[in-house]
Chain A
Amino acid sequence: MDDRNDHGPESSGSGSHTGQSQSGTRTRIGLDVGTSKVVAARGDSVSPQTEAQLNAFFDVPYSALHEQSLKANRTPFYREDDRLIVYGDASEKFAHIFNANVRRPMAKGILNPSEPLATHVLETVLSTLVPVSRNPGELLAFSVPAPASETGHELTYHEETIKRYLKGRGYTPLAVNEGLAVVLAELAKEGFTGIGISCGGGMCNVAVSYLSIPSLTVSLGQGGDYIDEAVGAVVNEPATRVKAIKEETLDLTRDGGDKIDKALHIYYDKLIESLVDEFGRAVHRTQKLPRNDQPMPIVLAGGTSKPNGFRDRFEKALRRRSWPFQIGEVRMASDPLTATARGALVAALAER
């Protein structure tokens, strides 16, 4: 049974899932379809409006009382057989109440193969951010990861599923590599030349761009979720609780305090080392690196890169190794959570 409804809070941007765009004018959208969050950007490239929705859900057994309660609280949900599926931002609140973990329609950057409700929930989450297009064929650029060498994940199914859904909403979808999207959002002044790195929930994506050409794309199938789960396992706490602590209090410039804090430091370092190693291997393998004498600036984005001190640790790990190009400034994106979506928007706006 597909008993989706739209009782969720109205999103702050245009339209939301009511299917109405803000006006009759062309509204291109940049979409970051991340494992942890889906972020949409629209408007112009200088001051885009962005909105986000947690890409997660939580199911509770169906009962009339539960359903009434969810409706009364304007919680977004739909009914699936004998379960009520609470999706988006609200799902995390429910997970906290039940001291359990949310479920994810995506894992490691693509549709979660072990989650039977994956496609359904992802489409529902997308519907909260992508209104039905008023201009059929309007461009919508969405982020896709680079194939992860260590998992060998096939991206076609994931990408085509999203494309078909977006076409059904009246858009012409345009896939943009996630790392490149960071470059498009943050390195315009550098002529879109540099390295964009997006550290998300499910994976980390890197793109080496030369004048907007992605000459090398790399991904690592580990991200914030990996840290949450690994830390949760060693300190015997639910990953959802670890995630909350990580987002609220973690500071990588200070020595780890309690057990969770120390474990977070350890797994952050491990993630950074793995990412730099993976990037180094890819650089070593490729024949496509630009012959550019100028130092390559590096921009970090994504929720996993947000903790204070991440940039410093990453830069140290990077500079400990030798590279066949000069490393320039390593900086954080102006808004790490929305950089990918904003970059996708730039790509959507640039297309004729």
Chain B
Amino acid sequence: MTAIATGSPTERYRRERPPVSPECGEELARITDDIEDPVVKLRYLQSVLHQEGEKHDLVQLVPIPPARRAWYRLKGLKALDAVADAQEAVGDRTRAARKTARRVVVGTTAAALLFVPFLVAVIAWQVDKWSSAEPAPIASSVGSSTEANATSVASVTESLAQQALTPEPEAETPVTRYPVAEALAEEDLGIVPSLIWLADRGPGWELYSNGLRIETAYTVKGTPRDYRVHSRDGKLLPMRHTRPIGILFHTSESDLWPLEPDYEKEVRKGSEALLRFVKREQAYNYLIDRFGRVYRVVDDDSRANHAGHGVWARGNEVYLDLNSAFLGVSFESRWEGGRTLPITRAQLIAGRNLTHYLRQRYSIAPEMCVTHGLASVAPKRGLIGYHLDWARGFPFEAFGLPDQYSQPSPSVALFGFNYDNAFLRAVGERWPGLIAAEKQLADEARERAISLDDLRRERQAEYRRWRAALPTPDERSLEAPQTADNRG
């Protein structure tokens, strides 16, 4: 995307223009959040977008996103000068950030000025060293006979080629492998429609414009979604919701036969048995079999029994009833040997198409697409990881989603859930978000001068209180819906 608010002022409020990049937008949004007066806010935005217009394309060439962000932040703060006559309209937070930015710019400039002479001196010294260095031994050995030279060069080339062809033996030092998202190869063939719509339907199937085909022959209706959300300060918000707010990815934990023609019958029968089970138990909203067929099992308006006592949070909202709040999407696969067994390429493509469709259909935020293994808890034991499906290895990146393994785990950070050795043995490594959540908890215990165990106990008690506050199905049926559910 290119910029921005160019052209005369008479055109800027009426001509369509490409929007700024998300990085630029997010940084400017952070700053404008702190400006109350609409007129000052608009004046600021128009000014900064106009200033940034010409440079925007150049900045986009910088390959490091954090560097681009830092640039936009600095320029955004600097552009507050344009509304300098209305400084009282700008909040304290942004004014403080502006002062810091000024110091950073001055400091960096001064450091750069000091560094340049030093850098020149180092380069000069290095050049001098190279030019006066003795020839390398291999060069000195060349020369007595052309044949010998040719042999020597050929052997060196051969050895290099051999090195290139032979994979390096794995280092003996164990490498910490975080369960990061696995990337799919970029798909550059074919066009992808920007809108996903129901392109065709027939008895037992629906076809969507992105190629997603949903089999509906097994679809059943369950208990309607109806849930409430806690705020982070523990209040059970009064609004009742009936639309899904997120997607929880599962594996079916079922038997898997080798994906080979000899086992065709077993593979098919296994999937059919699984479908019947999922339908009977109303276990998931969607199941994706190993051939990439997507089955809608429990309809979207109904809750499926897929999440148990899972916990997830976004912003100020904490979700404890994930069965109602989240759509359950299960891949026919299972957790084995400390990982989820690889899903098929067909499952991956179907899962991605389904995710895109559901996200558009219900305006689901990317950070609300998460795996069961990241949300699952065992409340009585106060432990995370009651279920481990996709506790590592879910290909978030291939699904166009942020890496949820790096997000602090809400069950740990908010409610002090712990884990035991069995969990560590099963998972192998703690994921970065779990480490971050534990650190948050430890920092808070230190700040409050209480032990980590005491803090965990306190949080666990809170979790039990929050859960107890949730209306039971009977209570829900007695309450009349208060408002239409408008949320994304």
**Are A214 and B365 in contact, CB atoms less than 8 angstroms apart?**
no
Within the assembled complex, what's the spacing in Å between the Cα atoms of A330 and B15?
A: 25
Query: B residues within 8 A CB of A182?
Result: none
Query: B residues within 8 A CB of A95?
Result: none
Chain B: minimal CB distance from A298 (Å):
10
Query: B residues within 8 A CB of A352?
Result: 43
**Are B19 and A290 in contact, CB atoms less than 8 angstroms apart?**
yes
> Interface-forming stretch among B22-30, B226-234, B421-429?
B22-30
Chain B: minimal CB distance from A39 (Å):
17
Query: A residues within 8 A CB of B5?
Result: 213
Closest 9 CB pairs of A and B: A188-B38, A295-B488, A326-B363, A290-B19, A350-B42, A210-B19, A176-B13, A350-B43, A322-B360
**Are B363 and A295 in contact, CB atoms less than 8 angstroms apart?**
yes
Within the assembled complex, what's the spacing in Å between the Cα atoms of A35 and B87?
A: 40
> Interface-forming stretch among B110-118, B191-199, B278-286, B298-306?
B191-199
Within 8 A of A (CB), among B276-317: none
Minimum CB distance partner of A174 in chain B: B10
Interface size on B, residues (CB 8 A): 48
Query: B residues within 8 A CB of A324?
Result: 194-195, 360
Minimum CB distance partner of B360 in chain A: A322
Chain A: minimal CB distance from B22 (Å):
5
> Interface-forming stretch among A108-116, A228-236, A280-288?
A280-288
The reply to whether the CB of A70 lies closer than 8 angstroms to some CB of chain B is no
Minimum CB distance partner of B82 in chain A: A352
**Are A211 and B13 in contact, CB atoms less than 8 angstroms apart?**
no
Within the assembled complex, what's the spacing in Å between the Cα atoms of A211 and B193?
A: 26
**Are B1 and A351 in contact, CB atoms less than 8 angstroms apart?**
no
Chain A 297-320, CB-CB to B under 8 Å as 1, else 0, gives 000000000000000100100000
Minimum CB distance partner of A173 in chain B: B10
Using A174-B9, A184-B42, A191-B32 as known contacts, say yes or no to A214 and B488 having CB atoms under 8 A apart. Answer: no
19 A-B pairs with C-beta separation under 8 A: A44-B39, A191-B45, A192-B45, A211-B45, A211-B49, A213-B4, A214-B15, A217-B14, A283-B195, A284-B195, A290-B20, A312-B484, A323-B195, A324-B194, A326-B363, A350-B40, A350-B46, A351-B46, A352-B43
Chain A 63-79, CB-CB to B under 8 Å as 1, else 0, gives 00000000000000000
Within the assembled complex, what's the spacing in Å between the Cα atoms of A312 and B45?
A: 33
The reply to whether the CB of B475 lies closer than 8 angstroms to some CB of chain A is no
Chain B: minimal CB distance from A171 (Å):
12
Within the assembled complex, what's the spacing in Å between the Cα atoms of A191 and B28?
A: 9
**Are B486 and A180 in contact, CB atoms less than 8 angstroms apart?**
no
Within the assembled complex, what's the spacing in Å between the Cα atoms of A192 and B360?
A: 22
Minimum CB distance partner of A178 in chain B: B14
**Are B19 and A289 in contact, CB atoms less than 8 angstroms apart?**
yes
Query: A residues within 8 A CB of B361?
Result: 322
The reply to whether the CB of B366 lies closer than 8 angstroms to some CB of chain A is yes
Chain A 141-160, CB-CB to B under 8 Å as 1, else 0, gives 10010000000000000000
Query: B residues within 8 A CB of A330?
Result: 486
Chain B 135-156, CB-CB to A under 8 Å as 1, else 0, gives 0000000000000000000000
**Are B13 and A347 in contact, CB atoms less than 8 angstroms apart?**
yes
The reply to whether the CB of B37 lies closer than 8 angstroms to some CB of chain A is yes
**Are A180 and B13 in contact, CB atoms less than 8 angstroms apart?**
yes
Task: Tell which of A214, A283, A291 touches B13, judged by Cβ atoms closer than 8 Å.
Answer: A214
Task: Tell which of B13, B197, B487 touches A174, judged by Cβ atoms closer than 8 Å.
Answer: B13
Task: Tell which of B38, B40, B194 touches A184, judged by Cβ atoms closer than 8 Å.
Answer: B38
The reply to whether the CB of A227 lies closer than 8 angstroms to some CB of chain B is no
Query: B residues within 8 A CB of A346?
Result: 38-39, 42
Task: Tell which of A144, A213, A292, A327 touches B22, judged by Cβ atoms closer than 8 Å.
Answer: A292
Query: A residues within 8 A CB of B22?
Result: 290-293
Chain A: minimal CB distance from B269 (Å):
35
Within 8 A of A (CB), among B463-488: 484, 486-488
| A177, A188, A280 pick with most chain B CB within 10 angstroms | A188
Within the assembled complex, what's the spacing in Å between the Cα atoms of A212 and B38?
A: 11
**Are A211 and B488 in contact, CB atoms less than 8 angstroms apart?**
no
Chain A 243-276, CB-CB to B under 8 Å as 1, else 0, gives 0000000000000000000000000000000000
Chain B: minimal CB distance from A148 (Å):
14
Query: B residues within 8 A CB of A49?
Result: none
Within the assembled complex, what's the spacing in Å between the Cα atoms of A129 and B49?
A: 33
The reply to whether the CB of B18 lies closer than 8 angstroms to some CB of chain A is yes
Chain A: minimal CB distance from B207 (Å):
14
The reply to whether the CB of A137 lies closer than 8 angstroms to some CB of chain B is no
Using A210-B25, A351-B9 as known contacts, say yes or no to A215 and B16 having CB atoms under 8 A apart. Answer: yes
Query: B residues within 8 A CB of A351?
Result: 9, 43, 46
